[in-house]
Chain A
Amino acid sequence: DVKVTQSSRYLVKRTGEKVFLECVQDMDHENMFWYRQDPGLGLRLIYFSYDVKMKEKGDIPEGYSVSREKKERFSLILESASTNQTSMYLCASRDSNNSPLHFGNGTRLTVT
């Protein structure tokens, strides 16, 4: 079974803090993704990566950056957290373009 592990289940941060969300997958998948999910808005793609050191903006990249130094690890960075970034963050991976996504358990981030 594919395992996608997100480092934190719950996080509480203050406005202006730099926040790191870590994600690791154990199936040697090429593609990795970061989504956020908010009530009424569904899943929205923030960034994705199709290879080590490669990254592409998704639909809502503003206020975020990412890092993929190793194939198994994809990090989401909030440079200066704001209250409108309070959300559920979901990491996912897949092995090819037509394959399904496999999600981690999610990180519920609260910015106060």
Chain B
Amino acid sequence: QKEVEQNSGPLSVPEGAIASLNCTYSDRGSQSFFWYRQYSGKSPELIMSIYSNGDKEDGRFTAQLNKASQYVSLLIRDSQPSDSATYLCAVHHSGGGADGLTFGKGTHLIIQP
């Protein structure tokens, strides 16, 4: 059973601070990693993709991947109230073929003004 684990939260962060979201996965051979943001009642929206070890930055968002430790994280700098949402980690595991995307259950992030 390939698993993706996230702390469900809520994670409360003051406005302007850095929010740090973490995700661990069980399949060492996983290849592709994605972060989605989901507002209440809405569908998931892709915010970051990462495929190799290290950091990937896009605006206020940084994804970090460490395949040896099997974790992927998302940092949100200068957090804004509009960042309040549930963040889903998704992993494409090895040998998964067309279906091989496993989602974590999400971390609920609250940015306090």
Q: Which residues of A contact B (CB under 8 A)?
A: 30-31, 33, 40-43, 45, 48, 50, 56, 58, 90, 97-106, 108
Q: Which residues of B contact A (CB under 8 A)?
A: 31-32, 34, 41-46, 49, 51, 88, 90, 92, 96-101, 103-106
B46 touches A97 (CB 8 A): no
Interface centre among B51, B97, B98 (most CB of A within 10 A): B98
Quick one: given A31-B98, A48-B99, A58-B99, are A100 and B106 in contact (CB under 8 Å)?
no
- CB < 8 Å A-B pair total: 53
**Among A30, A58, A101, A106, contact of B90 (Cβ-Cβ < 8 Å):** A101
Main secondary structure of the interface of A (DSSP, over half): loop
Q: Given the complex, which residues of A lie within 8 Å of B101, measured CB to CB?
A: 101
B32 touches A42 (CB 8 A): no
A42 touches B106 (CB 8 A): yes
Q: Given the complex, which residues of B lie within 8 Å of A101, measured CB to CB?
A: 34, 44, 46, 90, 101
Main secondary structure of the interface of B (DSSP, over half): mixed
Closest to B100 in A: A97
A43 touches B43 (CB 8 A): no
A97 touches B97 (CB 8 A): yes
Q: Given the complex, which residues of A lie within 8 Å of B99, measured CB to CB?
A: 33, 45, 48, 56, 58
4 tightest Cβ-Cβ pairs between the two chains A and B: A42-B105, A50-B98, A103-B43, A43-B103
Q: 10 interchain pairs (CB within 8 A)? A: A48-B98, A90-B44, A97-B92, A98-B31, A100-B34, A103-B45, A104-B43, A105-B42, A105-B43, A108-B41
**Among A40, A43, A58, A100, contact of B49 (Cβ-Cβ < 8 Å):** A100
Q: Given the complex, which residues of B lie within 8 Å of A100, measured CB to CB?
A: 32, 34, 46, 49, 90
Q: Given the complex, which residues of A lie within 8 Å of B44, measured CB to CB?
A: 43, 90, 101, 103
**Among A30, A33, A43, A98, contact of B32 (Cβ-Cβ < 8 Å):** A98
Closest to A35 in B: B103
Q: Given the complex, which residues of B lie within 8 Å of A30, measured CB to CB?
A: 98
